[in-house]
Structure 1
Amino acid sequence: MAPGRLSGDLQRGDIVVFDGRGSFVDDALPTPLQKIGSWVGLGPRDVYYVKRVIAVGGDSLECCDAEGRLLLNGKPLNEDYAPTPASAVEFSIEVPEGTMWVMGDNRNDSADSRSLLGRPGGGFIPTDRIIGPVIGHGSSID
């Protein structure tokens, strides 16, 4: 898989829906039967999150430069949807292969990968937890 690409055609800047169990939620990952049950309304359903993919496996990400922008692989990100600074939480991370770093667009009021720094998993979301992309949002990270 090419750098910056997730499974399928997902890439940095895409907005994705993912199952937060094992990362955002401490619950164990569902069994295949529990997963099917959740599709038809049986069992817990409030484990899905919608966030923007900021970095993928192999990327480095840092907050923030002198202008308040995130630095992806040492280069500033142009995120016209994000506040300035792009994060009130300073961090410097390397994204492990098979994971992604996600952030909400409403950065000042978003539980996202930054909220999980220092916890098991370190804020990295396994890419196999992606349910799918949000269609029609119209922006990606250059």
Structure 2
Amino acid sequence: MWLESLLLLVLALGLAVLIKALLVQAFYIPSESMEPGLVRNDRILVQKVSYWFGGTPQRGDVVVFKDPGGWLPEEDLVGPANPVTKLMAKVGLYPSGGHLVKRVIGVAGDTIHCCDDRGRLEVNGVALDEKTYARKGGAACFGPMVPGCSWTAGPVPAGTIFVMGDNRNDSADSSYHLRKANGRTNDEAYVPVDLVVGKVLVVLWPHDHFRWLHRPDDFAGVPDPVPTTTRR
């Protein structure tokens, strides 16, 4: 029986590793930056297959990505400490450190403007109605970046995305890193697509927060960016 139990354990671990590598992975929400939809310490599952075979993050997706460098404080880069949680993290059953979760606002070629006269973000000239999932947090608009609600980002470089937290006045996101006063170049405001782990599929825990995540409808009205032409 002990040989059978050992074999079952090995098979279970192998299956968990395969699932993590190919299908889904567990993470948790580390801060208030994605409220009201995702609350601190919520456990989420991230779906990886959405971006297979040439698929890329789309406007409105909530994605998990690796720290592009300097986005997270040192303490958030450290993974689980004890051997059990370390093993669970390796097989995707426990959250690992060094990742962020944000909403994709712009993809390659897009221009993001903050904001129109009603305080709404504009992507490629179209205003987003984000009241159902985003929070101003005391700001005058849905796209705050100190010192105010007047800035433009883009065109978003090829192979990158522009991301923001849903809690717009409390998120160290692309708009925050866009500031040159923060000691960064504009390029460092964009997240390379190859750092994206996947799209958030479901809030798994606590049970009273359980829900499936879907892309908001208002992003469907955003047109593709007008390609720029180069004179010869």
Higher helix share: 2
Q: Does 2:93 correspond to 1:17?
A: no
Q: Equivalent residue of 2:152, what SS?
A: strand
Q: How does 1:31-110 map to 2 (within 5 A)?
A: 40=90, 45-80=96-131, 81-82=133-134, 83=136, 85-89=141-145, 90-94=150-154, 95-110=156-171
Contact 1:60 1:73 in 2 (8 A): yes
CA distance in 2, matches of 1:49, 1:112: 9
SS across alignment from 1:131 = strand
Identity %: 41
Bigger mean CA offset, 114-123 vs 66-75: 114-123
Residue 9 of structure 1, CA deviation: 5.4
Q: Give the structure with the higher percent strand.
A: 1
Partners in 2 of 1:63 and 1:23 — Cα distance?
24
RMSD value over aligned CA atoms? 2.4
Distance 1:73 1:23 in 2: 28
Q: Which has the higher contact order (CA 8 A, sep 6+)?
A: 1
Alignment of 1:133 onto 2:199: yes
Could you state the TM-score of these two structures normalised by the residue count of structure 2? 0.48
Amino acid at match of 1:125: V
The answer for unaligned runs of 5 or more in structure 2 is 1-50, 75-86, 202-211, 221-232
Counterparts of 2:110 and 2:123 in 1: how far apart (Å)? 7
SS in 2 for 1:122: helix
Aligned to 1:115: 176
Tell whether the 8 Å contact from 1:99 to 1:124 is kept in structure 2 after alignment. yes
Larger Rg: 2
Asked whether the equivalents of residues 61 and 73 of structure 1 are also in contact (C-alpha less than 8 Å), the reply is: yes
Q: Which whole-Å CA distance do the structure 1 matches of 2:195 and 2:173 have between them?
A: 15
Identify unmatched segments of 5+ residues in structure 1. Answer: 1-5, 28-36
